Structures are given as structure tokens and as C-alpha cells.
Amino acid sequence: MDGLETLRAAHLTAIRDASDEGALEAARLAAIGKKGEVALKMRELGKMTPEERATAGPALNALKTEIGAAVAARKEALGDAALAERLESEWLDVTLSPRPRQQGTLHPISQVTEEVTAIFADMGFDVREGAQIEDDWHNFDALNIVPEHPSRAEMDTFYMAPREDGTRNVLRTHTSPVQIRTLQKEGAPVRFIAPGRVYRSDYDQTHTPMFHQVEGMAIDRTITMAHLKWTLEEFVKAFFEVDNVELRFRASHFPFTEPSAEVDIRCSWQGGVLKIGEGDDWLEILGSGMVHPKVLSNCDIDPAEWQGFAFGMGIDRIAMLKYGIPDLRGFFECDLRWLRHYGFSPLQVPTLHGGIGG
Ligand code: PHE
């Protein structure tokens, strides 16, 4: 067949010279594509005599195969070259020293819990812990919370699926069940705090469904409300490291204390920035009161002989106040930038002599 050898040489050269995948594909189409030169030659087969066709046909097929192989070989060579180029340009020096910021930080909740513990330990309070999954009796009944009390409503409380006998567990709604567990186990006198996680169905700028409280309790023969007031004032002064923090004791009601008081702290929220000790706003930080005689007798402690105070304080709240964190939700979003900004050095343990602040 005329010119087959010229055609072969021209196409093989074009393929060998293709400098990238695009050029190679163009060369492939020009040679053995549907409208390529080899295809055009194949169309001429129909016009040939059978004898001519007998030699031209196999020759064209062989050429098509040879060109196909050349394209594949060139493609592989180009791929190798591209890889070599990437390896050359994208290399990484694994002997570089690590970036300096490799240390984690302590979450403000952990920090504040440590601070609170240090202050109360100095006043002779031990630390007790309870479970986050409680039963109705410890979370409500033993604390003199009647079945129809609003805090027992489904709306606020996360209940677990009921058992066959109808009883069910709850995610504790406060740290007060630790009062019950400690009194039952240890009797009186006791003096402890109990920090930990609690759960309520609530979500806005100052409420999250999981948050933290610290319970405090002191039971002895002659403890009065004056001791409660002094203890809380000492705590607040030490915690905020200032003398002019203003507290407001507001008469209130809790089923497990009588009398009861809620305690607010004076603050301002100007321009989204929270300041304590000044301004016209009050932020509630705790509930407190004298332990109800029924709570004591529910724990087999004689209320004629023993009395004392209890309080429950929001750890997240006082962390927000002390460190000027305006939105509680950020505490639990695990945003690395937030943690780096508000986190604390894990090596600075708060003590009364070394400093309570971060
Ligand atoms: N348990 C109460 C609450 O969560 C706080 C509290 C504790 C009040 C102890 C009085 C005594 O709101």
C-alpha cells in the first residue's frame, strides 16, 4: 500500500515527541482515531482487488496495533515524568523540628473546678463525687421534692427509658443527690463540696443541656445561716480575688432547704462584655439554705441533734463571670481557637498561696 511506511514514521515520531497528555491524545486521534489517517486508509480497502486487500488489510491492522502500543508506552513515560516532577517539587523535610505550639490547654471548667476546690479545701471542706445517672429517689424524693414539683417535669429532666416495674433513672438535674449519698454513707458531721456535671433540657446564651455545679454541705450541731453567709462571702472574695464583690441574698424556695436564699452577684453586661462588681445587673450564681429536717431524717440523721447549710453553685456561670466569657455555648463546642484563647496552662495548679487565677 502506497505511503504506509511514511505514514507510520510520521505518526510514531509525533507520538514520541508528544510533551504532555494532551498532545499525546491529539497524536493518537490523528493516527488511529475514528477519523485518523489509519481509519481513512482502511476505508480504501473496499475499493481494492481481493489480492491487494489480502496484503493491505493485515498491514493496516498491524500498523494500528503498533501505534496503539506506542501511545501506551509514551503515556506511561509521561506519567513517570509527571510523578518524578511532583516528587521533586512537593518534597517534605521530615527532619524539620515540630511547630512550637504542641501543648494542650486546660478547659476553663477544669481550671475553675480546681480553683473552687482549693478555696473550699482551705476552709476544711472535703471533696465528694456522685454518679451522673441517678434514680428518682436520690435526685428528687429524698430531697423532699414532691412528685408534682415542676422540676420533675419531662420538659426539664432527661429521663432514661423506664424499667418493667415503671421506675426509671434520670440524668441528675443538680449535684444535690450527692448530699443524700454522702449523708447516708457517712452520717453527721460532714463538710464537703461535690463538683460535677448536671443535665437539664435548656439551651440559650447562658444555658446548655449539660453544665456544671458544685454542691456544698456542712452539717454539725450548731451550724447556722450566718456560717453559710460567711462561707460564701469568703469564697467569692477568694475566687474573684477582690474585696468589693457585692452579693445579694434573695429569699427563695427550695424543697430541700428552709429557709432558702438565692445568691446573685453584681455585674454589668455593657457592649457584650461582662464585668463583675459593678453595674446594675445581677447574675444568679447559686441557690442555698439551711438543710430541711426531712432531708436529714430521710438519711437517718436526727434533725433534733444535727443541722447545717447546703448550696449549689453554677461552675460555668462563675467561670464566665471571672474570665469574661459572654456565651456559655462556646464552652462545649470544642473549637480549637476558643480553647487556645480561653484555655489555661496545665502546669499552673491553683493554690491559695500561689494564686487562684490562671
Ligand atoms: N440544687 C439547687 C439547684 O440546682 C441548688 C441548691 C443546692 C439550693 C443546695 C439549695 C441548696 O438549683
pLDDT for 238-267, tens place per residue? Answer: 998 877 788 999 999 999 999 999 999 888
Q: Which of 289, 308, 303, 291 is CA-nearest to residue 144?
A: 291
Instruction: With cut-offs at 50, 70 and 90, classify the pLDDT of residue 217.
Output: very high
Contact partners, residue 111, CB within 8 Å, separation at least 6: 319, 344, 350, 358
285 within ligand 1 shell (Cβ under 6 A): no
Question: Best mutation site among 156, 176, 295, 316 for ligand 1, i.e. most ligand atoms within 8 A of its Cβ?
Answer: 176
**Cβ pair 314, 108 in contact under 8 A:** no
pLDDT, position 224: 97
Mean pLDDT of the 286-315 span: 98
310 within ligand 1 shell (Cβ under 6 A): yes
Could you tell me which residue, 20 or 213, shows the higher pLDDT?
A: 213
289 within ligand 1 shell (Cβ under 6 A): yes
Q: What is the dihedral of CA 234, 236, 238, 240, to 10 degrees?
A: -160
Distance CA 187, CA 184 (A): 6
pTM (predicted TM-score) = 0.70
Question: Best mutation site among 152, 254, 309 for ligand 1, i.e. most ligand atoms within 8 A of its Cβ?
Answer: 254
176 within ligand 1 shell (Cβ under 6 A): yes
Could you tell me which residue, 244 or 169, shows the higher pLDDT?
A: 169
Mean pLDDT of the 219-229 span: 97
Residue 308 grid cell:
447545717
- Which of 149-158, 165-174, 205-214 shows the lowest per-residue confidence on average (mean pLDDT)? 149-158
239: Cα separation from own chain's centroid: 26
* Bond preceding residue 259 cis, omega within 30 of 0: yes
157 within ligand 1 shell (Cβ under 6 A): no
Nearest CA to ligand 1 atom 9: 311
The 10s digit of each residue's pLDDT in 50-109 is 888 888 889 989 999 999 999 999 999 998 988 998 888 888 777 877 766 667 889 999
Q: Cell 512537593 maps to which residue?
A: 90
CA distances from 34 to 2, 31, 41, 307, 325 (A): 21, 9, 11, 100, 70
Instruction: With cut-offs at 50, 70 and 90, classify the pLDDT of residue 174.
Output: very high
- Give the distance (Å) from ligand 1 centre to CA of residue 313: 7
Which ligand 1 atom is the nearest neighbour of the CA of 217?
A: 9
What ranges make up the beta strands (E) of the chain? 126-127, 133-135, 169-171, 190-199, 210-220, 247-254, 257-268, 275-276, 281-291, 307-314
pLDDT, position 101: 61
